[in-house]
Amino acid sequence: MEPPADPAWRLTDDNYVPTLEHEVESRFAVGNGFLGVRGSLDQPTEASRPRTYIAGLFDSGEAVPSLVSAPDWLRLRLRVDGEELSLERGKTLDHTRTLDFRRGLLLSSLRQRTAAGVTVRIRGLRLASLAWREAAAQVATIEVDRPCRLELEVGLGPATSSLEAVHQERGLVVCRVRRRRDLLAVGARSSLRVDGRALAATGDEPGPVVWAWAARPDEKASLTRVVAFAASGSEELATLGVRRALAGQASRISRLLRRHAGEWQRRWSESDVAVEGDPATQRALRFAVYHLVSAADPSNERVSVGARALTGDAYKGHVFWDADVFLLPFYTFTWPAAARAMLMYRYHTLPAARAKAASQGYRGALYAWESADTGEETAPPFALGPQREVIPIRSGIQEHHISADVAYAVWRYWQATGDTRFLREAGTEILLETSRFWASRARLEADGRYHVRGVIGPDEYHESVDDNAYTNAMAAFNIECGLAAAELLRRRWPQRWSALRRELALADEEMALWREVQQGLVTGFDPKTGLFEQFDGFASLEEVDLGAYADRTAPMDLILGPERTRRSQVIKQADVVMLLALLGDRFARSVREANFRHYEARTGHGSSLSPPVHALVAARLGAVEVAKRFFDETAAIDLDDTMGNAAGGVHIGALGGLWQAAVLGFAGLQIEASGLRFEPHLPAGWKRLSFPVQWRRRLVRVEVAPGRLSATLERGPPMSVYVGGERGHLRRGETWRCELGGRGRRQGGESWAATRSGRGSS
């Protein structure tokens, strides 16, 4: 199978460098939300780190749970007249890996000359099926330029350090997670055809399977492997799942490939962001959407998307706020079923959130800063510094804004989808229990206002701060949404409301207190300057000119040292600017401009989540060149490994932020009560920006070009579209066009000289 001809649909690597191999493996991963397979070599070297991750399968390590890696099924050992083929020996004539975004395939080609002078070409294909998520496949073709003896060996590797084999039979092995009762079954079916004829093998899966034959230049050998995975608490169910997959339609490679490509075509039709006039941006957006689609599984409500998805070991597969505020918008507007499943993960982990709140002396639900399968707090209590000193990690104790982030995602999903079943059965309970938490977390003090003390906001350089503006404003929004959801249930579904009130022991007096807290929370806003003080006392800290560190290659906390950083106004990542991104429609333009200008100059961008937020907010303000600079910086995080840690997996939150910067930023998408609003500001050189968006069971195609916008309703009942003061009414199959005039791309804001970003470790 040939790679796509269009470079915008592919990522290619043709230069094997051992020291860069791990980051390449992250970029070239294939996945389907249940399986994640790193893009390691088919003939691994000493530098290889092959991994296949299973969503939701964790082992309880010595400190915190870690995502389990399945037995290695990828290794192909090929011996040519007894000499094993490898990039580490012989003469490599050419070697290429290509990630095919459009079809969700990893394609490879290796041409190697052995010491004896035989030239061998191996072409490979790898996928994690988007049609049957328990199935993965590996295909390889082998050709030689002269007669020789070939031996090909495949098999399922031994159990990894987190697994121990408990049962084995022909074609299948069952492993138990060492510190838990979970079981993983893995099975494989392999065949080799030489010049169209099936060749008999010695040995059976899971052990080595070996084919040996006399190869000729005019023949092609074709290997086909289908591997199935099933996780369960029951050995019987896990084994049954694998057997069904290997005996069913997924075992037929032609059908597997066809259905897989069809599912990818469907996903692209509902998620592709097309940019004309900027090839680098086009490839970056397709790379982002590819990995976002690969990360989600709408069929599983018990898992969410970790900080590196299923592409690497960093953060051990843990789920952070990234899932709720950086990823959910993409899924909500392009794949609502996936968004719903991720929010149901938050619903199913409510018991753990309640337990965490109670453990800290609060009511309601305090979500884990880092969570795995159960929703319990999995943030490590400490880390080792550069000198192996013990550094306390307080995020799991103090980073409480996570509960408001989850509530925000619930409410925005409801607004965009109108999913009443979710709101009735799960969403309202999340909103109420997080509201209850904030009402118990805030304290009424002598000034007559409510305060939240001793927290960490998004800016993790400053710990144990009081009245963090982002935290308090989001908490107030959380309570507002909780009260609105309660009123909605009371009016529309009174029986459900009565049952939920009884279940939560929720009295009118308590909800009246919530309103008082919501209206009385300190946000640090100064109406004279229009600025939010990031937290109480921030303005009195040392100012540091980040422009003097424009050429830095390390994050600012390492350059200044932790103590000086805490005493300074240097910010790790978007904090108040994050507030502008999430609730910007509530603030006057002058307020947004003043705060962006003030805090952008103080932000070191020590997290991958910071540049996309700045790109989004700057784009909405019309500061297009500033926005595009941050957009390009976001795109480079994984594609160029500018933060130096892509080896641990792709930065899926930043990739979600890249989509937001394009669609919510440059196109200016916002939700209205009766439709969608757009306020476009296209970068110079962009001739066209087009994308699909879903809103309340409708599918709209949007196209923005300099000076005009068009929207076509492809699916669903009539709706409205707004641009500035103009309103268009859409019926199915109709297109509405609007001349943007002065509302198109703006040149303003270029005096906001963006500080050069640091390189952090998130």
Query: Is 656's pLDDT higher than 80?
Result: yes
d(CA 618, CA 217): 60
Query: Could you read off the pLDDT of 192-238 as tens digits, one per residue?
Result: 999 999 999 999 999 899 999 999 999 999 999 999 999 999 999 99
Rg (CA), the chain: 27
CB 24 within 8 A of CB 50: no
Q: Which of 25, 134, 263, 460 is catalytic?
A: 460
| Helical packing angle, 428-441 and 350-359, nearest 10° | 10
Reduced to 3 states (helix: H, G, I; strand: E, B; else coil), residue 213 is strand
| Helical packing angle, 469-492 and 508-520, nearest 10° | 150
If one counts every other C-beta atom within 10 angstroms of the C-beta of residue 548, the result is 8
DSSP codes joined into one string, 133-177:
TTEEEEEEEEEESS-EEEEEEE-PPPP-TTEEEEEEETTEEEEEE
Reduced to 3 states (helix: H, G, I; strand: E, B; else coil), residue 679 is coil
Q: Would you state the pLDDT for residue 161? A: 85
Question: CA dihedral in degrees (424, 429, 431, 433; nearest 10)?
Answer: 170
CB 704 within 8 A of CB 723: no
d(CA 252, CA 231): 22
619 Cβ neighbours under 8 A, 6+ residues apart: 627, 631, 661, 665, 666, 668, 681
- The β-bridge partners of 139 are 125, 224
CB contact burial 470-505 (16+ within 10 A = b; e otherwise): bbbbbbbbbbbbbbebbebbeeebeeebeebbeeee
Q: Would you state the pLDDT for residue 748? A: 31
Confidence band (pLDDT; 50, 70, 90) for 755? Answer: very low
Q: Does a cis peptide bond (omega within 30 degrees of 0) precede residue 692?
A: no
Beta strands per DSSP E along 607-687: 670-672, 675-678
Q: Would you state the pLDDT for residue 29? A: 98
Confidence band (pLDDT; 50, 70, 90) for 753? Answer: very low
d(CA 468, CA 450): 12
Q: Give me the mean pLDDT over the 573-577 stretch.
A: 98
If one counts every other C-beta atom within 10 angstroms of the C-beta of residue 677, the result is 16
Query: Could you read off the pLDDT of 30-76 as tens digits, one per residue?
Result: 999 999 999 999 999 999 999 999 999 999 876 799 999 999 999 99
Go through the domains of the chain in sequence order and give each one's CATH number.
7-269 (2.70.98.40), 319-610+620-634 (1.50.10.10)
DSSP codes joined into one string, 606-619:
-STTHHHHHHHHHH
Instruction: Give the strand order in the sheet containing 698-705.
Output: 274-276, 688-695, 698-705, 708-715, 735-739
CB 52 within 8 A of CB 73: yes
CB 306 within 8 A of CB 67: yes
DSSP code of residue 326: I
- The β-bridge partners of 31 are 36
Q: Give me the mean pLDDT over the 168-183 stretch.
A: 93
Query: Is 113's pLDDT higher than 60?
Result: yes
Query: Could you read off the pLDDT of 581-601 as tens digits, one per residue?
Result: 999 999 999 999 999 999 999
Reduced to 3 states (helix: H, G, I; strand: E, B; else coil), residue 550 is coil
Counting runs of H as helices and runs of E as strands, what totals does the chain give? 21, 33
d(CA 26, CA 2): 22
460 catalytic, yes or no? Answer: yes
Q: Would you state the pLDDT for residue 648? A: 98
Confidence band (pLDDT; 50, 70, 90) for 630? Answer: very high
If one counts every other C-beta atom within 10 angstroms of the C-beta of residue 369, the result is 24
| Residue 82 dihedral angles phi and psi, to the nearest 5° | 85, -10
CA quadruple 640, 644, 650, 652: dihedral positive or negative? negative
Write out the two tokens for 334: 């392009």
Q: Give me the mean pLDDT over the 348-376 stretch.
A: 98
d(CA 462, CA 569): 9
Write out the two tokens for 249: 């339609």
Query: Is 760's pLDDT higher than 60?
Result: no
d(CA 640, CA 698): 37
d(CA 571, CA 602): 6
Q: Would you state the pLDDT for residue 749? A: 33
Among 165-169, 260-264, 421-425, 632-636, name the one with the lowest average pLDDT. 165-169
77 Cβ neighbours under 8 A, 6+ residues apart: 43, 84, 151, 152, 153, 154
Beta strands per DSSP E along 373-524: 382-384, 390-392, 443-444, 450-451
Query: Could you read off the pLDDT of 292-312 as tens digits, one per residue?
Result: 999 999 999 999 999 999 999
Which element (helix H / strand E) includes 98?
Answer: strand 91-100
d(CA 245, CA 116): 42
Q: Give me the mean pLDDT over the 618-627 stretch.
A: 98
84 Cβ neighbours under 8 A, 6+ residues apart: 77, 78
* Residue with the two structure tokens 């073709």: 141
The more confident residue out of 759 and 472 is: 472
CB 672 within 8 A of CB 338: no
Instruction: Give the residue from 744, 662, 722 showing the smallest Cα distance to 329.
Output: 662
256 Cβ neighbours under 8 A, 6+ residues apart: 127, 129, 131, 132, 135, 137, 226, 249, 250
DSSP codes joined into one string, 334-368:
H-HHHHHHHHHHHHHTHHHHHHHHHHTT--S----
Query: Is 752's pLDDT higher than 60?
Result: no
Average pLDDT, the chain: 94
Q: pTM value? A: 0.96
Q: Would you state the pLDDT for residue 762? A: 54
If one counts every other C-beta atom within 10 angstroms of the C-beta of residue 544, the result is 19
CB 403 within 8 A of CB 434: yes
CB 340 within 8 A of CB 426: no
CB 106 within 8 A of CB 30: yes
* Residue with the two structure tokens 């390492």: 558
Q: Give me the mean pLDDT over the 619-627 stretch.
A: 98
Query: Is 744's pLDDT higher than 90?
Result: no
CA quadruple 253, 256, 259, 264: dihedral positive or negative? negative
Query: Is 285's pLDDT higher than 50?
Result: yes
Query: Could you read off the pLDDT of 683-720 as tens digits, one per residue?
Result: 999 999 999 999 999 999 999 999 999 999 999 999 99
Q: Would you state the pLDDT for residue 388? A: 83
Write out the two tokens for 497: 């409301």
